[in-house]
């Protein structure tokens, strides 16, 4: 793991109190919403108060909290200017809001997950929606994580399944990371990749126990989610834990926000999207070198203006920001495009070796269903048209060379 203290225990709250006493911290801002206050926040506040720690509670209003400007200001307004440690009592959204607010006010924070639903607990980036655009904003990692296993086992089943979906996503995220290093000279760390794969595989072996919310399964699930954050922390970027499948999810999330529709759990979207991305890996694994050569020979340099129009069609008023984000791809010269195609062909055996590391879409669907999740976007309340848009245009969300970019070069993604 890491030097960052991580406690996963049936009742982690007393360990939190002891930890704060050891650090001589006696003033905290506890951030929660009404749901997380009920399941863990109130018990934590009472334990801290019993330990002579001054607790200032900040309860975010509303049934569904969004990590946007309004929520951030709400926390900052309630917190005031007094220096206090922040406690994030919640899942991904509460953690990201608290991470950002604590960092910008010069305070440390501690994460108290209330559901094994996301891998954001130990990362440095806050996943925020600012002016309607999903962005990873540099903030800070927590100084410790206290995961109360009783609370995690009692989390709503959809949230547990979503967390499992976020771990399933590590099949395609690690594969995309390897592709980027192979074809785009992207930064890569083999030791970190192995750590991520090992944690993922331990969790996958517990799919049935996760589906039944049994402690041993939930322990391996939250461990994998925490380890994903630690891998991102060790590498200094989100590459180990989020790539093509996350960009499809981000596209959908931004669309839902713009249209004022109910959110869909992040991990539910990324797990489902992993099965989509796996289809492209499956096609590449089956594609002969001769077919790849023919496809590459027929692949013209994308026209910059046409490419921008594609982005504008999919993202509307978010286009200007994405033009900057995609500058490496949009500004490619004919010479660089030909060099990229030549590299793909020269390294086709290695490309296929990466592709074969990704389980089939059917196998991934089976894992999701065993853990209580789904690969069917309709079950998640999503429609055919928006899924087609997310699949085709999601790769524009980040400047990364993934299997979806490769599929675009090969003419598989039109």
The two beta strands, 144-148 and 85-90, are unpaired
Q: What pTM, to 2 d.p., does this model score?
A: 0.90
In the beta sheet, which residues pair with residue 314? none
Q: What is the mean pLDDT of residues 399-403?
A: 95
DSSP state of 4: S
Q: Residue 55 and residue 57: Cα distance in Å, rounded?
A: 6
In the prediction, which pLDDT does 346 show?
A: 98
Looking at the predicted structure, is the pLDDT value of residue 171 above 60? yes
300 sits in the region (left: phi over 0; alpha: psi -120 to 50; else beta) called beta
- Name which residue leads in pLDDT, 37 or 129: 37
User: In which band, very low, low, confident or very high, does the pLDDT at 292 lie, cut at 50, 70 and 90?
Assistant: very high
Range name among 1-15, 108-122, 165-179, 388-402 with the lowest pLDDT average: 1-15
* pLDDT tens sequence across 190-232: 999 999 999 999 999 999 999 999 999 999 999 999 999 999 9
Q: What is the mean pLDDT of residues 371-397?
A: 96
In the prediction, which pLDDT does 17 show?
A: 98
Q: 39: which residues sit within 8 A by CB, 6+ positions away?
A: 114, 151, 154, 155
SS3 of residue 33 by DSSP: strand
Of 39, 34, 136, 32, the residue nearest 86 (C-alpha)? 32
Q: Residue 369 and residue 284: Cα distance in Å, rounded?
A: 25
User: In which band, very low, low, confident or very high, does the pLDDT at 309 lie, cut at 50, 70 and 90?
Assistant: very high
372 sits in the region (left: phi over 0; alpha: psi -120 to 50; else beta) called left
The sign of the CA dihedral 57, 62, 66, 70 is negative
Q: What is the mean pLDDT of residues 33-37?
A: 94
In the prediction, which pLDDT does 1 show?
A: 40
SS3 of residue 213 by DSSP: coil
* pLDDT tens sequence across 42-81: 999 999 999 999 999 999 987 778 888 999 999 999 998 8
Tokens of 273: 């999207």
Tracing tokens 């033009």 back to the chain, one arrives at 323
User: In which band, very low, low, confident or very high, does the pLDDT at 2 lie, cut at 50, 70 and 90?
Assistant: very low
SS3 of residue 87 by DSSP: strand
* pLDDT tens sequence across 138-157: 899 999 999 999 999 999 99
Q: Residue 249 and residue 264: Cα distance in Å, rounded?
A: 9
Looking at the predicted structure, is the pLDDT value of residue 5 above 80? yes
Looking at the predicted structure, is the pLDDT value of residue 414 above 80? no
All domains of the chain in start order, with CATH: 6-155 (3.40.50.1970), 160-410 (1.20.1090.10)
In the prediction, which pLDDT does 131 show?
A: 82
SS3 of residue 53 by DSSP: coil
Contact 88, 114 (CB under 8 A): no
* Dihedrals phi, psi of 347, to nearest 5 degrees: -105, 20
Looking at the predicted structure, is the pLDDT value of residue 258 above 80? yes
- Percent of the residues in the chain that have a pLDDT greater than 70, as a whole number: 99
* Dihedrals phi, psi of 400, to nearest 5 degrees: -135, 145
User: In which band, very low, low, confident or very high, does the pLDDT at 123 lie, cut at 50, 70 and 90?
Assistant: confident
In the prediction, which pLDDT does 125 show?
A: 82
In the prediction, which pLDDT does 396 show?
A: 93
């Amino acid at each position: 793991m890491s030097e960052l203290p991580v406690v996963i225990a049936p009742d982690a709250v007393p360990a939190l109190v002891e930890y704060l006493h050891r650090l001589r911290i006696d003033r905290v801002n506890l951030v929660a919403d009404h749901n997380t206050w009920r399941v863990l926040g109130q018990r934590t506040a009472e334990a801290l108060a019993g330990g002579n720690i001054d607790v200032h509670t900040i309860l975010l209003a509303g049934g569904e909290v969004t990590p946007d400007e309004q929520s951030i200001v709400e926390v900052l307004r309630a917190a005031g200017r007094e220096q206090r440690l922040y406690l994030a009592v919640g899942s991904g959204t509460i953690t990201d809001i608290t991470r950002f607010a604590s960092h910008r006010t010069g305070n440390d924070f501690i994460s108290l997950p209330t559901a094994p639903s996301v891998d954001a607990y130990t990362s440095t980036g806050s996943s925020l929606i600012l002016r309607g655009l999903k962005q990873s904003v540099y903030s800070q990692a927590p100084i410790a994580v206290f995961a109360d296993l009783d609370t995690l086992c009692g989390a709503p089943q959809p949230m547990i399944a979503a967390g499992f979906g976020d771990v399933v996503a590590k099949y395609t995220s690690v594969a995309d990371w390897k592709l980027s290093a192979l074809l785009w000279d992207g930064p890569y760390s083999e030791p970190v990749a192995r750590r991520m794969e090992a944690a993922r595989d331990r969790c996958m072996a517990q799919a049935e126990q996760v589906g039944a919310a049994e402690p041993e399964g939930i322990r391996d699930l939250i461990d994998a989610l925490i380890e994903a954050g630690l891998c991102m922390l060790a590498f200094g970027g989100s590459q180990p834990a989020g790539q093509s499948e996350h960009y499809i999810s981000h596209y959908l999330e931004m669309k839902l926000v713009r249209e004022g529709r109910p959110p869909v759990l992040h991990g539910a979207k990324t797990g489902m999207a992993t099965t989509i991305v796996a289809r492209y890996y499956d096609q590449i694994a089956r594609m002969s070198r001769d077919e790849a050569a023919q496809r590459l020979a027929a692949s013209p340099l994308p026209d910059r203006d046409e490419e921008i129009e594609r982005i504008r069609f999919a993202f509307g008023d978010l286009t200007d920001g994405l033009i900057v984000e995609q500058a490496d791809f949009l500004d490619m010269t004919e010479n660089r495009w030909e060099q990229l195609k030549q590299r793909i062909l020269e390294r086709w055996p290695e490309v296929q070796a990466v592709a074969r590391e990704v389980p089939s879409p059917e196998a991934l669907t089976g894992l999701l269903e065993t853990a209580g999740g789904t690969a069917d976007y309709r079950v998640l309340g999503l429609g055919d048209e928006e899924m087609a848009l997310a699949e085709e245009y999601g790769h524009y969300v980040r400047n990364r060379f993934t299997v979806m970019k490769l599929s675009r070069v090969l003419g598989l993604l039109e």
